[in-house]
Amino acid sequence: MADTPSNPDLYGPDTGELRPPDAMAGHDTEPIISFSHVSIGFNGRSVLDDVSFYVNRGETLCILGRSGVGKSVSLRMLMGFLKPDSGSIRVEGQEITGLSENDMQAIRKKVTMVFQNGALFDSMNVRENVAFPLRERGGLAEDQVVQIVDRLINMVGAEDVTDNLPSGLSTGRKRAVAIARALASQPEVVLYDEPTTMVDPIIARRLGDLIQRLKKQLGFTSIVVTHDMRFAERLADRVLFLHEGRAQYFGPLAGFLASQDPFIQQFLTLDAYVLPSA
């Protein structure tokens, strides 16, 4: 008989059943993610300058700002793909800035990222892509893998394209499948890098609904990098607004929307502007 998953929080021990919200509830009060006075630059140019923020378990943080202000760089540092020049980054209280690539693998089991391009395997169909993390980890019988994959594919609404290769999917579908594959690795935190870029408003709304559902039904902690204020308003518990590499605002969504800071007002005004029809 195959062993049950090492982390049973997301899946039931025998059937791969997705568990209810209380299965993911944390019992500590320490933030699951924290950045403290983090700075990083490239080629003499400062990208992030003394940035601090935190994310509590089960929360959704939206990182907002114009292009080039360091939003995606924050995610890449959290994944260990980049190292800060100074400051502290902690995951569940563990300092990760000095970890080796080998040690970061344990962190990446807790924190996973959905990239803009989906980063799906071109030679694998949808079902094989979603199953890959489960088979890579091992410890599951094939019927358990099949049940978990079916549930994840149904959850993201991709049940009609299970045999398709990524090349045959729209951008929105690729991102939905990438989310399903990310969930298959049983993470505690999911990072989304500009999930609504290059998708139409209907698909953007569906992706937002999916991220909300994962939070409400399964208690996931999420960090969403976006420049889309409408998307952020639907998701965010807290907002980090970056301007010229600095944390111009960090706090509740309501406080951000009510802020009189001129840079925030400019961002909100430009985001609300709709080009006139021809």
Q: What is the pTM of this model?
A: 0.83
Residues belonging to the chain: 278
Closest of 128, 114, 144 to residue 220, by C-alpha? 114
193 forms beta bridges with 225
Say how many domains are in the chain: 1
Q: CATH number, domain at 245?
A: 3.40.50.300
Confirm whether 233 is domain-assigned: yes
Least reliable range by pLDDT among 67-71, 85-89, 242-246: 67-71
To the nearest 10 degrees (0 to 180), the angle between helices 126-137 and 142-155 is 130
Confirm whether 6 is domain-assigned: no
Confirm whether 1 is domain-assigned: no
| Three-point CA angle 266, 269, 272, nearest 5° | 145
Confirm whether 53 is domain-assigned: yes
Q: What is the pLDDT of residue 36?
A: 97
Q: What is the pLDDT of residue 2?
A: 32
Q: What is the pLDDT of residue 258?
A: 95
Q: What is the pLDDT of residue 93?
A: 94
Confirm whether 20 is domain-assigned: no
Confirm whether 110 is domain-assigned: yes
Q: What is the pLDDT of residue 110?
A: 92
Q: What is the pLDDT of residue 272?
A: 63
Confirm whether 260 is domain-assigned: yes
Note down the domain range covering 77.
29-272
Q: What is the pLDDT of residue 273?
A: 52
pLDDT at 102 > cutoff 60: yes
Confirm whether 33 is domain-assigned: yes
The answer to whether 49 and 246 have CB atoms below 8 angstroms apart is yes
Q: What is the pLDDT of residue 68?
A: 78
